[in-house]
């Protein structure tokens, strides 16, 4: 199958490469030329624009930073809808606001394009090894049509409801991840200040109820002082902003989300926005005067 892929950042590059490894043709486009060249070197074809990609591909995937970027890539001049034919399937795998997904789907429907939202969780490591968790919103028949394709990039692809449900699920995911990382940073800061080796604390508790995928991934980064991004703080700020906006819109209280968002915002102000979100440890180091690790 010939697949268009628009958006070749930290996540998009390895996702597109996994489609190539699975034997699909990929026509790729990104506003950053070096990103396109990277994927072309792996076997993809370069597209001249989002419209040009959509003109030759029956399925188009977008993987972009936020709602305005997706709207521009799909609905703007030179966008997907300018080149797509009736019957084209658009899979937006970006993490955006649910209401934006619904707005984009409406514009797609007017041109006969079928659209689902399918955001992912797992960060760069799982994008690379093709084991992302994919959350899908939209027509179930369209989901069934592309499910096998999604599973070339992810370990799971669960249909969560109508358009926007995928991104609502992703927001729930991002809340849990953010609060969990903050809890890990807080707990390990306590251990360090109390004179207990964080490495030993990690070994002691990771097999118990406190153990989690988040702690297993992020505690070693905190202890090692390694904040190279798998998922950037600035992107998590974007997700939590969408979560807070959605929560306000539906009347869901999100006090823990708001607290972690303030921590992230402090780190952004300290020029740490491009760090991995495990750099919440830096927030605790700032307020406690004690680093967890190096």
State the catalytic residues: 170
Q: Which two tokens stand for residue 226?
A: 């390694």
Helix, strand, coil share of the chain (percent; to 5): 55, 15, 30
CA nearest to 276, candidates 242, 243, 228, 235 = 228
Q: Which of 264, 247, 253 is nearest to 98 (CA)?
A: 247
Do the beta carbons of residue 182 and residue 277 sit within 8 Å?
no
Residue 60 near residue 41 (C-beta atoms within 8 A): no
Read off φ and ψ for residue 75, nearest 5 degrees: -100, -10
Q: Look up residue 178 and give its two tokens.
A: 């953010």
Q: Per DSSP, which regions of the chain are E strands? A: 2-6, 25-29, 45-46, 59-62, 89-92, 114-117, 120-121, 132-137, 154-161
CB 54 within 8 A of CB 2: no
Alpha helices per DSSP H over 46-97: 50-56, 67-75, 80-83
Q: Are strands 114-117 and 120-121 parallel, antiparallel or unpaired?
A: unpaired
Which two three-digit tokens encode residue 272?
A: 């740490």
Cβ atoms of residues 114 and 144 within 8 Å: no
- Rounded Cα distance between 165 and 99, Å, is 10
């Amino acid at each position: 199958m010939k697949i268009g892929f628009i958006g070749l950042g930290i996540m998009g590059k390895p996702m597109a490469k996994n489609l190539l490894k699975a034997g699909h043709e990929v026509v790729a486009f990104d506003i950053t030329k070096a990103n396109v060249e990277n994927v072309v070197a792996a076997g993809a074809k370069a597209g001249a624009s989002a419209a040009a990609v959509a003109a030759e591909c029956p399925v188009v995937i977008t993987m972009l930073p936020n709602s305005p970027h997706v709207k521009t890539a799909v609905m703007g001049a030179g966008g997907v809808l300018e080149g797509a034919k009736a019957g084209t399937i658009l899979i937006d795998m970006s993490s955006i606001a649910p209401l934006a997904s619904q707005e984009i789907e409406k514009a797609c429907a007017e041109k006969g394009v079928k659209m689902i939202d399918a955001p992912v969780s797992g960060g760069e490591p799982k994008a690379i090894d093709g084991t992302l968790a994919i959350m899908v919103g939209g027509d179930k028949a369209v989901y069934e049509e592309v499910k096998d394709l999604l599973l070339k990039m992810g370990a799971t692809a669960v249909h969560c409801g109508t358009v926007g449900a995928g991104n609502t699920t992703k927001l729930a995911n991002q809340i849990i991840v953010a609060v969990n990382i903050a809890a890990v940073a807080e707990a390990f800061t306590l251990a360090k200040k109390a004179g207990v080796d964080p490495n030993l604390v990690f070994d002691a508790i990771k097999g118990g109820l406190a153990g989690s995928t988040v702690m297993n991934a992020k505690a070693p980064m905190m202890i090692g002082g390694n904040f190279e991004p798998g998922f950037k703080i600035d992107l998590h700020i974007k997700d939590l902003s969408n979560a807070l906006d959605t929560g306000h819109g539906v009347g869901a209280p999100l006090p823990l989300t708001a607290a972690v968002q303030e921590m992230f915002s402090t780190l952004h102000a300290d020029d740490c926005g491009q760090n991995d979100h495990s750099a919440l440890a830096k927030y605790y180091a700032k307020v406690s005067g004690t680093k967890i690790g190096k």
